[in-house]
Homo-oligomer: A and B are copies of this chain.
């Protein structure tokens, strides 16, 4: 399994910077930098391992995997900006606006978002499939998805009733979109897709809760970004509002529920299941 993941990661890393020339002006440099800083690459890995669970030919779809990581990277660059979370470090390296400047970070994010949809639009696949994946992803990052979640986060104002809604929109929607994009590639049955959608929501929210735990008790060196910020920023961190025990228990139940649902739709590919586990039991 280690070799399998290593191979996928290598393909993702080279796919991400393909066509993005760092020598090509400051915008190219900033985009290249943002994509070269090693991340977990969770979303592309989820997408590719889900395909391999069915067809074992995931590398054919590496461009779509990379497009999904572009979307995630765009969201990180914009979130880190001074007017948002104002973060100086990400994955142990200076954030894009610290390395370059705010204007370039803004544009690098914008351009990655456009590049994501450009990559998918130009992908050599029946146009119905291209359109279906675009429907899934544009929806999952829009006002009812990731961006809407960010806005709710800004409006949070200690209203703890909003926390799980924020987590679903801000984090789970793109995870769900990633899984459903994979499902589209492997022609999953509609009723199985419904169950997978439920997995995406459940595990996506649990993933955000694991991130909340990290902020409270993680090790900054290991995590690569500034921690213990949620309390100061009055962020909707579930641990602050529901307590560590509640959150750990909820993560446990969500994980078990997800594994059961995956069993129901006959997904038992070990690398995929190991990713699901890694999402919620994170090294802190």
Contacts and interface: CB of A to CB of B under 8 A. Distances in A.
Interface of A: 20, 25-28, 31, 74, 78, 81, 83-84, 101-104, 106-107, 109-111, 113-115, 117-118, 121-122, 126-128, 130-131, 134-135, 138-139, 141-143, 147-148, 150-152, 154-155
A106 B131 contact: no
Contact of A143 (B31, B106, B143): B31
A131 B78 CA distance: 27
Q: Which of A26, A111, A114, A155 has the most CB of B within 10 A?
A: A114
Given A78-B106, A110-B110, 19 more contacts: A26-B151, A26-B155, A27-B147, A27-B148, A84-B103, A84-B106, A107-B147, A107-B150, A107-B154, A114-B143, A115-B142, A117-B138, A121-B131, A121-B135, A126-B127, A127-B127, A127-B128, A130-B131, A134-B134
A141 B101 CA distance: 21
B117 A134 contact: yes
A25 B142 contact: no
Given A118-B138, A121-B131, A104 B154 contact: yes
B110 A147 contact: yes
A232 to B, nearest CB: 17
Interface SS of A by simple majority: helix
B110 A122 contact: no
A102 to B, nearest CB: 4
A97 B83 CA distance: 11
B111 A113 contact: no
Nearest to A147: B111
A27 B143 contact: yes
Given A106-B106, A121-B135, A143 B101 contact: no
A154 B103 contact: yes
A26 B155 CA distance: 8
Q: Which of A28, A102, A131, A150 has the most CB of B within 10 A?
A: A131
A74 B107 CA distance: 12
Contact of A131 (B25, B104, B127): B127
Contacts of A114: 113, 138, 141-143, 147
Contacts of A107: 78, 147, 150-151, 154
